[in-house]
């Protein structure tokens, strides 16, 4: 059940936060094998649920998140709870909540626990982690995506009603697509990343993962501490499908799904057109030369003093970043600005870009390559291919479920909007959500 | 610094620091750096061509 569906029943007193939290805690216990959580704050959550129940009964209902359990990626500070970042490196011990956490509490949300992730958010499969690989809820042998893999699993399995993730190259959208949920990466800088362990300070974003676009809007309202102005326009919209690099290598079933979605949108009265993004193929090189040194900068002291806590692969990637030349970092930053201008130009031809969130379905845990149109491609490169561009350019992007493949694994589509117009992107996504999921449906049972 | 010189120095340093496993990653990074520099040259060249056409374009007295 979505937050939008459940919250009126909470507000009316028909359903109590204690019931909801108890149900979530039971599901967490029942599926510990999925490794969705690093830590569960059960006692505090129940205490907060009892307080919320009393507050609502006394007529002090705060709004749609009041009494709703939310999970927090364990990269984000929660006062009094260690921030592990999924690593065996000694954790941080924050005394204060990150601003996004504080805003959720102010909206009445109940923090149920901290979710597992790819170590330091430096990967897309959530299997390099000190807390056990995160398993896909539909296929135990597969990855749930990453780096916010535990956040996606927690939501799909009904362990919470929303999750907060972070996204530096696709870490909200990739697990959302892999698990069949909605994941929003807002415009760069729109939500504060203070109190969040950085991966790349110029690419890091924080955002919600939810069961519907409407729920994403509810969370986004709370996270930015102001209501989203709902644009009056309801379409029809023009969608631009990028030509060239972004879509040249797709799993055949993902390509088929994109064709189906194009038809569904056209039949619903929207326009769908091809758009070019010049030099899009340079995205991975630009990304690498920015994210590597920025990540290495944060970790440099620990790499020198005690690197033993890092997983071997993470340590090597962080060390690699220390060798990059400053001139190539500046070169990448300048090329990044040109790429952002190219995306801006593409968005002048349409209301939103439309493309898959992932070129493949959830990869097998431990696989080093995936097959794309008959060619093996490294898992990390393949899974970042369709999302990382918008971390570089800062455009808001949202992953929405778009059915399943023949093996019943979820497929996600991605919509990308104008910078600083996340509110409009949410309105567009809400307008098409049902049109591109007809006949498919989401994965999980949800809570409540 | 050329990419060749950079790669040689980086691999030597990684070995000295007891990180020989970095070598293939640095080789991959060198390929990516070469591609990055090629992209910059290519985009500069494209924009240079555009600039070379500017005098022939219709402009007002202020070049606007």
pLDDT for B1 equals 86
- Is A147 one of the annotated active-site residues of the chain? yes
CATH code assigned to A239-284+325-433: 3.90.1300.10
CATH code assigned to A3-223: 3.90.1300.10
**How near does any CA of chain A get to the CA of B47, in Å?**
11
User: B 4-63 residues with CB below 8 A of A?
Assistant: 6, 10, 13-14, 19, 21-22, 25-26, 29, 32-33, 35-37, 39-40, 42-43
Q: Could you give the angle at which helices A17-30 and A3-11 cross, rounded to 10 degrees?
A: 140
The beta-strand segments (E) located in A56-97 are 69-73
Q: What is the pTM of this model?
A: 0.94
Spell out which residues of chain A touch residue B33, defining contact as CB-CB under 8 Å.
285, 289, 324-325, 328
DSSP-based three-state secondary structure for A286: helix
Q: What is the pLDDT of residues A406-444, one digit of tens each?
A: 899 999 999 999 999 999 999 999 988 878 864 444 433
Separation CA B22–CA A201 (nearest Å): 24
pLDDT for A232 equals 57
Count of beta carbons in the 10 Å neighbourhood of residue A344: 13
Separation CA A383–CA A174 (nearest Å): 7
| Number of cross-chain residue pairs from A and B with Cβ atoms under 8 Å apart | 57
> Tens digit of pLDDT per residue, chain A (448 long)?
999 999 999 999 999 999 999 999 999 999 999 999 999 999 999 999 999 999 999 999 999 999 999 999 999 999 999 999 999 999 999 999 999 999 999 999 999 999 999 999 999 999 999 999 999 999 999 999 999 999 999 999 999 999 999 999 999 999 999 999 999 999 999 999 999 999 999 999 999 999 999 999 999 999 998 765 665 567 899 999 999 999 999 999 999 999 999 999 999 999 999 999 999 999 999 999 999 999 999 999 999 999 999 999 999 999 999 999 999 999 999 999 999 999 999 999 999 999 999 999 999 999 999 998 888 999 999 999 999 999 999 999 999 999 999 899 999 999 999 999 999 999 999 988 878 864 444 433 333 3
pLDDT for A228 equals 59
pLDDT for A435 equals 81
The pair of structure tokens assigned to A284 is 């991975």
- Interchain pair B25, A285: CB under 8 A: no
Count of beta carbons in the 10 Å neighbourhood of residue B38: 12
Q: Where are the domains of chain A?
A: 3-223, 239-284+325-433
pLDDT for B63 equals 40
- Interchain pair B29, A284: CB under 8 A: no
- Interchain pair B40, A317: CB under 8 A: no
- Is A171 one of the annotated active-site residues of the chain? yes
Q: What is the pLDDT of residues B3-56, one digit of tens each?
A: 999 999 999 999 999 999 999 999 999 999 999 999 999 999 988 755 555 554
Separation CA A238–CA A139 (nearest Å): 36
Residue A7: phi and psi, rounded to 5, are: -60, -35
pLDDT for A12 equals 97
Same fold, A3-223 and A239-284+325-433: yes
This model of the complex carries an ipTM of 0.92
Interface test with B, best of A245, A285, A392 (most B CBs within 10 A): A285
**Closest in A323, A328, A338 to B36, CB measured:** A328
Distances (CA, A) of A20 to A14, A50, A237, A406, A448: 12, 11, 38, 34, 6
Which residue in the list A16, A71, A73, A148 is annotated as catalytic? A73
**Closest in B6, B14, B36 to A286, CB measured:** B36
């Amino acid at each position: 059940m979505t937050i939008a569906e459940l919250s009126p029943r909470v507000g009316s007193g028909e359903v109590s936060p204690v019931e909801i939290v108890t149900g979530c805690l039971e599901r967490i216990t029942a599926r510990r094998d999925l490794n969705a959580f690093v830590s569960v704050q059960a006692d505090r959550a129940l205490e907060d649920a009892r307080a919320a129940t009393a507050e609502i009964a006394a007529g002090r209902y705060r709004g749609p998140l009041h009494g709703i359990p939310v999970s927090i990626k364990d990269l984000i500070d929660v006062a009094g709870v260690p921030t592990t970042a999924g690593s065996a490196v000694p954790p941080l011990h924050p005394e204060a909540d990150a601003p996004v956490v504080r805003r959720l509490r102010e909206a009445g949300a109940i923090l149920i626990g901290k979710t597992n992730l790819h170590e330091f958010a430096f990967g897309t499969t959530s299997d390099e982690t000190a807390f056990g690989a995160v398993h896909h809820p539909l296929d135990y042998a597969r990855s749930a995506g990453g780096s916010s893999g535990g956040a996606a699993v927690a939501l799909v399995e009904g362990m919470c009603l929303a999750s907060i993730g972070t996204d530096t190259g696709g870490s909200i959208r990739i697990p959302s697509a892999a698990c069949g949920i909605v994941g929003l990466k807002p415009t760069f800088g729109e939500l504060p990343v203070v109190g969040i362990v950085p991966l790349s300070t110029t690419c890091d974003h924080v955002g919600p993962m939810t069961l519907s676009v409407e729920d994403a809007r509810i969370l986004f309202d709370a996270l930015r501490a102001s209501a989203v102005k709902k644009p009056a326009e309801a379409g029809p919209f023009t969608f631009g499908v990028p030509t060239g690099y972004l879509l040249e290598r797709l799993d055949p079933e993902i390509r088929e799904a994109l064709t189906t979605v194009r038809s569904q949108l056209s039949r619903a009265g929207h326009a769908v057109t091809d758009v070019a993004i010049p030099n899009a193929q340079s995205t991975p090189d630009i990304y690498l030369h920015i994210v590597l040194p920025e990540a290495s900068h944060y970790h440099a002291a620990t790499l020198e003093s005690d690197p033993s806590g890092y997983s071997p692969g993470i340590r090597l990637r962080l060390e690699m970043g220390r060798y990059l030349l400053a001139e190539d970092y500046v070169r990448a930053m300048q090329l990044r600005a040109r790429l952002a201008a190219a995306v801006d130009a593409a968005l002048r031809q349409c209301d939103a870009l439309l493309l898959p969130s992932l070129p493949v379905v959830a990869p097998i845990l431990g696989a080093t390559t995936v097959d794309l149109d008959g060619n093996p491609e490294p898992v990390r490169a393949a899974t970042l291919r369709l999302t990382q561009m918008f971390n570089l350019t800062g455009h808001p992007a949202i992953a929405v479920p778009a059915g399943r493949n023949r093996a019943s694994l979820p497929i996600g589509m991605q919509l990308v909007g104008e910078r600083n117009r996340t509110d409009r992107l949410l309105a567009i996504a809400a307008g098409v959500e049902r049109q591109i999921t007809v006949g498919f449906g989401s994965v999980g049972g949800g809570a409540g | 610094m050329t990419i060749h010189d950079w790669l040689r120095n980086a691999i030597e340093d990684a070995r000295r620091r007891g990180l020989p496993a970095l070598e293939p990653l640095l080789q991959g990074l060198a390929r990516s750096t070469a591609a990055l520099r090629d992209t910059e040259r290519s985009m500069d060249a494209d924009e240079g061509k555009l600039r070379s056409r500017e005098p022939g374009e219709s402009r007002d007295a202020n070049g606007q």
